[in-house]
């Protein structure tokens, strides 16, 4: 009878093998968990390193929490300049007087922007400029204004209103209390040549600025330039802020009108404090070469003929000419009386201030009178060519009522056209190095007394 096989040895062997298997698999699990742990640690370290390099610490600027969307969509590290650039931005925007403002001035290399930047800096506010130095008119004039501002320690960042990452970075680096928004595509007739530039700067650019401002914490108060052109074909005179503005006569006017409606929306939804200023034909030293008083001066000096417009019913065109110093006082008055925005982190916390004011001179002057003042100052007879105004051109008559601005921040224009033009001509001949043909080009002439 066969003897049953001795299984005790096999069983022992199997137990030993199973022990070995368990031992190896535990070792394997331990080894792979260690590997996994190390890999996770490495990835975490790499991520920390990436974020540290890409984004400066938020604690640098406790008042300003950046728009998360722009933080994530673009590395702010690569926007703007390096550490030296940031230092310039900070230095320029830091106020030097107690409770001074920190103001972002857009369009700072422009006519009104450069004057306002200087005035703010001189009274101790911090000012940072932004301008894209476009060539709508001679950019060398913008560069010369930039040099002037540089002497007064105002730094202008070269960039566009539509550059969201750049704007985010500026708001991150500098704690702006206010924005004086003057950058725009100006001019009435150029809109027929380049309509898109008006949409890009005056509508898309404005919205971009408001988007960044509304997301900043705390939000700045914003004062911005609208225009008397919003009154368009309205025949009420003088123009008051409560008058209708729904008949713009140019694309420029339509974009400024759109700006006023957009301002209303951002005030209503996000609690941004917004003040729109309707300027009436601003003139003065460092002015705009596309404006009549400027190119009349140039053409009269060069012996070229100038075109003087009459309306269709052969009436003289008249405008409220506002001297730059008066406009600067109005802009600073609007900034000084601007209440704080009420929103926080893109959310409205309560009703915020929304204002619109005329900044004009309250006494329209016929263009013929402007020319005769210039003739007197330049001691040269103009070659006048009278033509009928094109129907699709500018409005023939502007006259400001400034009651509201006067009541709210004491705005009162004090410079008459003759005195203002005298200062302009003095600057013009100096800037362009022209030998004046005048007896004394800065002295009043008989023509200027009125
Ligand atoms: N000067 C006037 O008589 C007058 C009248 C009514 C309204 N305004 C308004 O006042 C403001 C200032 O006018 P100004 O006479 O000083 O004009 P300006 O052309 O001299 O200044 C505007 C500045 O903005 C800059 N700019 C334009 N688009 C830009 C953009 N997308 N991004 C960055 N910078 C940009 C330009 O380079 C320019 O330097 C403008 O909004 C204008 O529409 C002026």
Average pLDDT over residues 300-310: 95
CA 200 remoteness from chain centre = 13
What distance in angstroms lies between residue 32's CA and the mean position of ligand 1's atoms? 65
- Kindly indicate the confidence band of residue 445, based on its pLDDT and cuts at 50, 70 and 90: very low
* Shortest-distance Cα residue to atom 44 of ligand 1: 279
Per-residue pLDDT tens over the stretch 221-277: 999 999 999 999 988 889 999 999 999 999 999 999 999 999 999 999 999 999 999
Pocket test for ligand 1, best of 131, 132, 184, 334 (most atoms within 8 A of CB): 184
- Kindly indicate the confidence band of residue 2, based on its pLDDT and cuts at 50, 70 and 90: very low
CB 340 within 8 A of CB 273: yes
What distance in angstroms lies between residue 111's CA and the mean position of ligand 1's atoms? 7
What distance in angstroms lies between residue 201's CA and the mean position of ligand 1's atoms? 9
Atom of ligand 1 nearest to the CA of 183: 24
Average pLDDT over residues 314-343: 96
What distance in angstroms lies between residue 272's CA and the mean position of ligand 1's atoms? 22
Predicted local distance difference test score (pLDDT) of residue 314: 85
Predicted local distance difference test score (pLDDT) of residue 23: 46
What distance in angstroms lies between residue 255's CA and the mean position of ligand 1's atoms? 13
* Shortest-distance Cα residue to atom 39 of ligand 1: 110
Using CB distances shorter than 6 Å, the residues near ligand 1 are: 107, 109-113, 130-134, 142, 160-161, 182-186, 201, 205, 225, 227, 279, 281-282, 288
Residue 264 corresponds to which tokens in the numbers above? 């209303």
* Shortest-distance Cα residue to atom 15 of ligand 1: 111
Residue 395 corresponds to which tokens in the numbers above? 């409005």
Predicted local distance difference test score (pLDDT) of residue 164: 98
Give CA–CA dist 321/300, Å, rounded: 20
CB 105 within 8 A of CB 130: yes
Residue 369 corresponds to which tokens in the numbers above? 């009178």
Would you name the residues annotated as active-site residues? 252
- Closest alpha carbon to 286 in 331, 336, 332, 328: 328
Quick check: 198 pLDDT over 90?
Answer: yes
**H and E: helices and strands count for the chain:** 14, 13
Per-residue pLDDT tens over the stretch 370-411: 999 999 999 999 999 999 887 666 778 899 999 999 999 999
Per-residue pLDDT tens over the stretch 156-165: 999 999 999 9
Phi-psi region of 314 (alpha: psi -120 to 50; beta: other; left: phi over 0): left
* Shortest-distance Cα residue to atom 31 of ligand 1: 201
Give CA–CA dist 287/331, Å, rounded: 17
- Kindly indicate the confidence band of residue 4, based on its pLDDT and cuts at 50, 70 and 90: very low
Atom of ligand 1 nearest to the CA of 288: 20
Name the average pLDDT for the chain. 86
Atom of ligand 1 nearest to the CA of 200: 31
pTM above 0.75, yes or no: yes
Predicted local distance difference test score (pLDDT) of residue 34: 67
CB 224 within 8 A of CB 276: yes
* Shortest-distance Cα residue to atom 38 of ligand 1: 110
Question: Which of the two residues, 323 and 59, has the higher pLDDT score?
Answer: 323
Average pLDDT over residues 167-179: 97
Atom of ligand 1 nearest to the CA of 291: 3
Predicted local distance difference test score (pLDDT) of residue 78: 73
Give the 3-state secondary structure of residue 25. Answer: helix
Per-residue pLDDT tens over the stretch 66-90: 444 444 444 565 788 899 999 999 9
- Kindly indicate the confidence band of residue 17, based on its pLDDT and cuts at 50, 70 and 90: low
Give CA–CA dist 9/14, Å, rounded: 9
Residue 172 corresponds to which tokens in the numbers above? 């991150």
């Amino acid at each position: 009878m066969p003897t049953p096989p001795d299984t005790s040895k096999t069983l022992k062997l199997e137990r030993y093998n199973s022990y070995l298997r368990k031992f190896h698999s535990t070792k394997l699990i331990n080894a792979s968990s260690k590997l996994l742990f190390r890999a996770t640690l490495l990835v975490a370290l790499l991520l920390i390193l990436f974020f540290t390099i890409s984004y400066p610490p938020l604690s640098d600027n406790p008042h300003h929490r950046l728009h998360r969307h722009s933080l994530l969509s673009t590395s702010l590290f690569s926007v703007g300049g390096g550490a030296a650039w940031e230092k310039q931005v900070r230095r320029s925007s830091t106020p030097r007087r107690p409770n001074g403002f920190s103001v972002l001035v857009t369009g700072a290399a422009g006519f009104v922007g450069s004057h306002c930047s200087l005035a703010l800096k001189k009274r101790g506010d911090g000012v940072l400029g932004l301008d894209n130095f476009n060539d709508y008119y001679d950019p060398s004039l913008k560069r010369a204004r930039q040099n002037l501002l540089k002497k007064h320690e105002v730094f202008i960042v070269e960039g566009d209103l539509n550059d969201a990452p750049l704007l985010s970075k500026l708001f991150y680096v500098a704690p702006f209390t206010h924005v004086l928004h003057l950058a725009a595509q100006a001019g009435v007739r150029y809109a027929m040549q380049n309509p898109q530039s008006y949409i890009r700067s005056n509508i898309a650019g404005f919205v971009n600025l408001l988007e960044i401002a509304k997301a900043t914490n705390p939000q700045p108060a914003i004062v911005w330039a609208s225009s008397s052109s919003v009154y368009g074909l309205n025949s009420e005179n003088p123009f008051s802020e409560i008058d209708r503005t729904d008949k713009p006569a140019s694309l420029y006017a339509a974009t400024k009108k759109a700006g006023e409606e957009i301002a209303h929306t951002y005030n209503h939804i996000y609690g941004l404090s917004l003040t729109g200023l309707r300027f009436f034909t601003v003139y003065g030293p460092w002015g705009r070469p596309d404006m009549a008083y400027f190119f009349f001066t140039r053409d009269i000096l060069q012996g070229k003929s100038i075109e003087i417009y009459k309306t269709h019913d052969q009436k003289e065109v008249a405008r409220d000419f506002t001297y730059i110093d008066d406009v600067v006082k109005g802009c600073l008055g609007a900034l000084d009386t601007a209440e704080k925005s009420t929103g926080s982190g893109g959310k409205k916390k309560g009703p915020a201030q929304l204002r619109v004011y005329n900044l004009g001179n309250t006494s329209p002057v016929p263009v013929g009178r402007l020319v005769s003042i210039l003739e007197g100052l330049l001691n040269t007879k103009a070659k006048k060519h009278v033509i009928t105004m094109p129907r699709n051109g500018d409005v023939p008559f502007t006259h400001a009522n400034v009651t509201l601005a006067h009541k709210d921040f004491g705005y009162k224009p004090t410079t008459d056209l003759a005195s203002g033009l005298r200062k302009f001509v003095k600057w013009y001949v100096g800037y362009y190095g022209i030998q004046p043909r005048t007896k004394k080009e800065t002295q009043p002439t008989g023509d200027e007394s009125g």
